[in-house]
């Protein structure tokens, strides 16, 4: 499923003194199969954008009581807003949003705060039962199998954790159980808001490894929102940079992180590899790499080979 | 005199596996100490023991010489302030000023004194302009600065930051670290900083690494971060720049274990030309 947004605008608290334009004419396409990164400082519109993708924020035109604004005389009609996820048209009130959400899984920031059930298996099964087709009753075996798959996908052993309270687990394990609760329905698109935030370094690596492991199977597309530029540089196929509700750049990391000055100007960090490339550049050494650690090391060592 | 001193401290949460056994450590007055360790290593337990949120099963904890027991709990808490991870869990009032006053009111300070404390705390965290602002409308970094101000209004001698920057964006993190460094430098506040961020730990005078409830490494932060094999053994990793330097070395480039980007670039340049 491909994600297409065109001329997407969103205002919080519209027609009130607290009105904030969170998205301002955003156009962005995310192809199926991508491991897509979204970056931008706090308040840039990243979260508002991703919440549109599984209709947590509904387009006004998809609401029951929506009436088209009447244009004043001589006023040009605004450009048509498009928001499509695969075949789901999110601007249309007839769309089956329930079905959409089954295909688009959303993992919020600090998802472990949303754990609620008494045991891990109940917590993970909750979404599965809710998304089961109407009138269809899942058997215990089906639930057991799906929960087992989801836990295995996040690197946990069913027998070991299933009957434990999710609150007795470590921070990293809780995070993984929470992710399991989302992927248990095998969403085709998985959106994660800062999946690694707050974890220790190994916990971070582990989460990213898990995402790569499920990406490409039933999960076709992964979208991550992150402040960690190293994480973005290492993992993503394309990156969108949000700033003030607009999309400034959509580029592969290899091209994006060459724009060191522009990114710093937007109040963003750059990955360590980009800092090193820039520092080498100031010493007259041109190094062209895709900003992953592996590529940086390979190219740097090749420099030496050439010089010797 | 030690600001905080642990002597043979034992602690366990009920019947769980995790326990602290015979823990000895101390922090000097005015020192800035970073505490590292993987999730579940005991860092937060250490913080909670340090101001009596948890009491030890055995051994003793002294804060500026005062024994931390139930009798002296409030004396100790007025000297040791803790800032936690989630800014939303640490604000109680709807207006910044009221929120900062909360702790000071609770210890029964005079009205004029509270006013002075609020002035001091607001300027210390650089939030003077937000005195009458609604807490809910602040950014995460600003809320966390308000939480710090609330602790500062009690004029603590020791501040413990338990992953206080983990939920903030890079800008919010820098704001907090600037405030913390300033308090340590200008006000002589002793700081215990629990963090996963290398760049934050590097600001400290000394770093401790915890694992399984014990302190397993100690030293200057830069020195700790160069001991890759040991870090790995305690479920931590070398900082990314350390990994790069190590790999370059393995590839035959003579670069040092620096954590400084410019220095590493200089050394690479030296090897190439």
In chain A, domain spans: 3-270, 271-308
**Residue in B39, B198, B271 to test binding to A, most A beta-carbons within 10 Å:** B39
Average pLDDT over residues A165-169: 89
Q: Does B270 contact chain A (CB < 8 Å)?
A: no
Entry field: residues in chain B: 273
| Residue of chain A nearest B263, judged by CA positions | A279
Of the partner residues B169, B196, B253, the one whose CB lies closest to the CB of residue A41? B169
Average pLDDT over residues A119-136: 86
Question: Is the CB of A300 less than 8 angstroms away from the CB of B268?
Answer: yes
Other C-beta atoms within 10 Å of A125: how many? 22
Asked whether the predicted pLDDT for residue A239 surpasses 80, the reply is: yes
The CATH number that domain A3-270 falls under is 3.40.50.300
Asked whether the predicted pLDDT for residue B273 surpasses 80, the reply is: no
Chain B residues with CB-CB distance to A307 below 8 A: 271-273
User: How, if at all, do strands B214-219 and A3-12 pair?
Assistant: unpaired
Mapped onto helix, strand or coil, the DSSP state of residue B32 is strand
**Residue in A229, A269, A283 to test binding to B, most B beta-carbons within 10 Å:** A283
Average pLDDT over residues B225-250: 90
**Residue in A20, A112, A200 to test binding to B, most B beta-carbons within 10 Å:** A200
Question: Is the CB of B39 less than 8 angstroms away from the CB of A199?
Answer: yes
Asked whether the predicted pLDDT for residue A104 surpasses 80, the reply is: yes
Q: Does A300 contact chain B (CB < 8 Å)?
A: yes
The pTM is what?
0.86
pLDDT band at B174 (very low <50, low <70, confident <90, very high): confident
Chain B residues with CB-CB distance to A172 below 8 A: 39
* CB contact residues (below 8 A), chain B span 227-256, against chain A: 235-237, 240-241, 243-244, 247-248, 251-253
Asked whether the predicted pLDDT for residue A78 surpasses 90, the reply is: no
A86 Cα to chain B: minimum distance (Å)? 32
* Alpha carbon distances (Å) from A114 to A11, A123, A224, B111, B169: 27, 10, 19, 41, 21
Query: Residue B186: phi, psi to the nearest 5?
Result: -90, -35
Question: Is the CB of B253 less than 8 angstroms away from the CB of A269?
Answer: no
Asked whether the predicted pLDDT for residue A308 surpasses 50, the reply is: no
A277 Cα to chain B: minimum distance (Å)? 8
Size of the A and B interface in Cβ pairs below 8 Å:
101
Average pLDDT over residues B129-144: 88
Mean pLDDT check: name the lowest of A147-151, A247-251, B12-16.
B12-16
User: How, if at all, do strands A189-193 and A104-107 pair?
Assistant: parallel
User: Which tokens sit at A293?
Assistant: 């650690």
Q: What is the pLDDT of residue A307?
A: 46
Most confidently predicted of A11-15, A245-249, B147-151: A245-249
Q: What is the pLDDT of residue A306?
A: 52
Rounded to whole angstroms, the Cα distance separating A245 from A45 reads: 5
B220 Cα to chain A: minimum distance (Å)? 20
Q: What percent of chain A has a predicted confidence (pLDDT) above 70? A: 97
Mean confidence (pLDDT) of chain A? 90
Chain B residues with CB-CB distance to A300 below 8 A: 248, 253, 268
pLDDT band at B237 (very low <50, low <70, confident <90, very high): confident
Q: Does B129 contact chain A (CB < 8 Å)?
A: no
Q: Does B140 contact chain A (CB < 8 Å)?
A: yes
Rounded to whole angstroms, the Cα distance separating A51 from A235 reads: 22
Asked whether the predicted pLDDT for residue A305 surpasses 80, the reply is: no
């Amino acid at each position: 499923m491909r994600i297409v947004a065109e001329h997407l605008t969103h205002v919080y608290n519209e027609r009130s003194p607290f009105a904030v334009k969170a998205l301002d004419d955003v156009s962005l396409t995310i192809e199926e199969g991508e491991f897509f990164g979204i970056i931008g400082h706090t308040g840039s519109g990243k979260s508002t954008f991703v919440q549109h993708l599984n209709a947590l924020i509904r387009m006004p035109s998809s609401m029951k009581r929506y009436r088209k604004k009447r244009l004043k005389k001589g006023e040009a009609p605004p450009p048509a807003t498009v928001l499509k996820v695969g075949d789901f048209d999110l601007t249309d009130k007839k769309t089956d949003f329930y079905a959409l959400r089954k295909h688009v899984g959303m993992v919020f920031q600090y998802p472990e705060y949303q754990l609620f059930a008494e045991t891990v298996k109940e917590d993970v099964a909750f979404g599965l039962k809710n998304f089961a087709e109407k009138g269809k009753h899942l058997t215990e075996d089906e639930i057991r199998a799906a929960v087992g798959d989801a836990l295995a996908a996040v690197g946990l052993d069913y027998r070991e954790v299933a009957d434990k309270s999710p609150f007795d687990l470590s921070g990293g394990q809780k995070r993984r159980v929470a992710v399991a609760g989302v992927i248990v329905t095998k969403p085709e698109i998985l959106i994660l808001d800062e999946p690694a935030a707050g974890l220790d370094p190994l916990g971070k690596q582990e989460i990213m490894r898990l995402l790569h492991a499920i990406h490409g199977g039933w999960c076709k597309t992964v979208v991550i929102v992150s402040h960690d530029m190293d994480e973005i540089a290492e993992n993503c196929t394309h990156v969108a940079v949000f700033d003030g509700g607009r999309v400034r750049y959509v580029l592969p990391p290899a091209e994006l992180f060459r724009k060191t000055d522009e990114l710093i100007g937007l109040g963003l960090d750059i990955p360590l590899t980009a800092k090193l490339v820039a520092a080498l550049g100031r010493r007259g050494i041109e190094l062209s790499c895709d900003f992953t650690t592996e590529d940086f090391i390979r190219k740097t060592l090749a420099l030496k080979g050439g010089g010797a | 005199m030690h600001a905080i001193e642990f002597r043979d401290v034992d602690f366990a949460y009920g019947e769980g596996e995790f326990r602290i056994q015979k823990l000895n450590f101390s922090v000097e007055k005015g020192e800035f100490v970073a505490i590292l360790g993987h999730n579940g290593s005991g860092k937060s337990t250490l913080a909670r023991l340090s101001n009596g949120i948890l009491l030890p099963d055995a051994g003793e904890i002294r804060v500026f010489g005062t024994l931390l027991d139930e009798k002296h709990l409030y004396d100790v808490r007025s000297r040791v302030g803790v800032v936690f991870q989630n800014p939303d869990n640490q604000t109680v009032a709807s207006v910044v000023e009221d929120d900062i006053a909360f702790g000071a009111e609770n210890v029964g300070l005079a009205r004029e004194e509270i006013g002075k404390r609020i002035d001091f705390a607001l300027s210390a965290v650089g939030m003077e302009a937000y005195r009458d602002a609604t807490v809910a409308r602040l950014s995460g970094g600003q809320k966390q600065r308000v939480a710090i101000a609330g602790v500062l209004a009690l004029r603590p001698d020791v501040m413990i930051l338990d992953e206080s920057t983990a939920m903030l964006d890079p800008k919010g993190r820098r704001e907090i670290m600037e405030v913390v460094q300033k308090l340590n430098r200008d006000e002589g506040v002793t700081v215990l900083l629990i963090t996963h961020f290398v760049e934050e730990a590097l600001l400290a005078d000394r770093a401790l690494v915890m694992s399984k409830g014990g302190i397993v490494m100690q030293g200057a932060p830069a020195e700790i971060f160069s001991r890759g094999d040991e870090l790995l053994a305690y479920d931590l990793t070398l900082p990314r720049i350390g990994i790069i330097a190590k790999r370059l070395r393995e590839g035959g480039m003579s670069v040092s274990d620096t954590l400084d980007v410019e220095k590493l670039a200089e050394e690479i340049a030296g090897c190439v030309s």
